[in-house]
Amino acid sequence: MRQYLAGLGLALMASTASAGVAIGDTLEPFALKDATSGKDVDLKSAAGQKATVLMFIATTCPISNAYNERMAALAKDYSGKGVAFVGINSNKQEPAEDVAAHAKEHGFSFPVLKDLDNVKADEFGARVTPEVFVYDTGWKLRYHGRIDDKKEVSEVSSKDLSVALDAVLAGKEVAVAETKAFGCSIKRVTK
C-alpha cells in the first residue's frame, strides 16, 4: 500500500510551516492570475474581510478532489460572515485551462489562482493539496494545516478549519493553530 501511495505522489503527513511562514507572521498581499478569468486577482481586494483563507488545491489529486464539495460549502457558509476564500494551484503539470475547468465543474465561488513556477507555494512552505492558511483582517497568520482530519467526510471528527475560522471571527485565539495537512505533494518546477 505504501508503495502504491508513494507512486501516486501522496505525502500523507506533511510538515507544518517549518519552511515558509509561521503562525503570527504577517502576509504582504500579492496578486496572481485567476485561472478562470485570466485576470490578476490582488489579495488587497480582500481588505476589510474578517478573515482570508488561502487553500493550496489540485485538479488531479484524489485527496484534494475528495475535499471539493467541502471547500465549496465552506466558502458558501463563511462568505456571508466576512471570510474570503482563495484557491491556489501550484502544480506544474496542471495548466490554467484545466484549473479553470475544474473550478467551474465543482462550483467554486472563489477565485482559483495559478501559481506559475510554484513561487507562492515555496514562499508559504506549502507541501500538499489541500493545505490551508488562514489570515485575519490584519493579515496575521492564525491557522495553518488541514481542512479536517479525514478524507472521507463520514469519518470526520475534527473540523479544524471551521473551528479556526469561528475563533478568528469571534476575536479569540485559535486553540490549535497548526495541524498536519495531508494530501498529494505539490508537483514543483525544478529550479
Cell of 191: 529550479
Tens of pLDDT, residue by residue over 110-148, are 999 999 999 999 999 999 999 999 999 999 999 999 999
Residue-level pLDDT at 191: 64
- The tally of CA atoms less than 13 A away on the side-chain side of residue 180 is 8
- pTM equals 0.89
Q: Which residues of 175-185 are buried (b: 16+ CB within 10 A; e: fewer)?
A: eebbbbbbbbb
CATH superfamily for domain 2-185: Glutaredoxin (3.40.30.10)
Long-range contacts of 151-156 (CB under 8 A, 24+ apart): 151/63, 151/66, 151/67, 151/182, 152/66, 153/66, 153/69, 153/70
Residue that the C-alpha cell 496542471 belongs to = 94
Residue-level pLDDT at 113: 97
Residue-level pLDDT at 90: 97
Residue-level pLDDT at 151: 97
Cell of 186: 505539490
Name the residue ranges covered by the structural domains of the chain. 2-185
Give the chain's mean pLDDT: 90
Instruction: Count Cβ atoms within 10 A of the Cβ of residue 48 and give its class: 0-12 exposed, 13-18 middle, 19 or more buried.
Output: exposed
Residue-level pLDDT at 19: 67
Residue-level pLDDT at 190: 78
166: three-class secondary structure by DSSP: helix
d(CA 118, CA 7): 21
Output the tens digit of pLDDT for each of the chain's 191 residues. 333 333 444 443 343 334 699 999 999 999 999 998 899 999 998 888 999 999 999 999 999 999 999 999 999 999 999 999 999 999 999 999 999 999 999 999 999 999 999 999 999 999 999 999 999 999 999 999 999 999 999 999 999 999 999 999 999 999 999 999 999 999 999 76
d(CA 38, CA 32): 9
